[in-house]
Structure 1
């Protein structure tokens, strides 16, 4: 099994942070965002990961390679931004050996609620002989904040978007993962395209079947700084309260951020790397502190994320950092 990770985008809604750090490399709970996608798919034992690159490509490669992943790593370097469909088409030579491959966004935070769901999704995909099986979940924002995946009574995909489609009986939320038959390449021309609205819809119009698989999970939006901080708060609460998904996140931390320590106090929940210089009384609310960061004793940090190798300096009257994402 081979995996394509979409990691070329510019992350415009998370600027200015993404002007210096590619979004998939931004630390979430002290782990690069792309690792959440890699870890999610680990149960399929993929042998190769293909990352497409464009925006801050060298920074992305540095972060990926420093993560010491076990799979073969390949980069598909785009000279212009090709979109989700065009990026797959440009990398098609990597996906000709196997009948199926998986596409995943490289900046999703997905916490599965059950084990072996991807194995079940793969089994369903192969039995249905669908050209694509889209992983979906329920979400209150479908049709308003997010476009939905619109389905008929037989669970066939009819289309995408916020507006209901004729014949559809319900809409689901796309979580950023699709299982593809390699036949999809027939519907991906050269150049820029969107995998949902252009390529999958072209296949459906020409008679191909596209299905969905209901994936039981917590899915978190990280597109804006506000969303990122809200997702951070929710994930810290999952771990501290031992809610569904806590074991999954704890295991990720053990593998990818073993020096990060979870600290639960009356005034907050903190995830602090052991190499950082910080006094616990400086922190309140939900706080993340990355590796080798330094906080001046006069600083107070509230509901914020301090990235790796950050120095928050003392000012005349001290400094309070509240509801902030500080990455450089």
Structure 2
């Protein structure tokens, strides 16, 4: 019997972590960007610098309750272009910073219209915010209209990392206001431009066989030398164009197919982008064919390519895409992503077809 070294046993034991040894991460409610989607917690930042203000930031918050006192804010009733109700809470200190006038919630509730135009003073403090969000402030809110509990889905405006304006509405309205903020945020578009130059999307290129849906008996009978017809878009003496589709890999578009055309001549092979998503047309076709358990889709893999996010956004019908990795005229015939046969593009009676050359185990 082999003697076991006790030191070796200790070395192989799992190491335990102490809670104190973990690094402490602090959350700054006015500056930290938080993404905890599984818990419903989300916070996004959009930084601005206007003609009269620097260090201004809009903050969309979901799932993190507002911790300040709602009663200490001056509340205004507003609406957007769709007449949705919006509540705006403004910090008295922010009104003073912007206008030099000291207006408290009690003064705003009192009114005093004959003494000083309090409503105009408060509106002047948030004039740039009002214009940027494309909303219209209508009046002061009454005590009965004030929020009764601390909300957790709102849009905040921070000045020098301190929350100054607090915007409430239904989730759809707040989402629309965030969209407005995003479109006019220089920092957002700068980050978007940077990302678009480094992020690639990988795409697989497939040819469209004339018979897309097969019965298991038909597909099993394919052998060496058999010909599989593919969809020829044009066929002339100069070039051959094959109809195919792109499928994205590893993202939410992975189930969609986008039409492309492979144009081949003696010098090179070009890939032209066609229409948008073609899944809906193929669904109508499959509904008229075999029973569901007999519907086997045959795909003809022709190659793969990558495209920058920036280039992907500008793709439209007719756009030329470089096919970076391919073995044409050799192609692979696949079922549910698994390669089953290898073939080669050949001429047969003035048509381009795929001839089976090898069975893949």
TM-score under structure 1 length normalisation: 0.26
Higher relative contact order (CA 8 A, sep 6+): 1
Which has more strand, going by share of residues? 2
TM-score under structure 2 length normalisation: 0.24
For the pair shown, which has the larger CA radius of gyration, 1 or 2? 2
Which has more helix, going by share of residues? 1
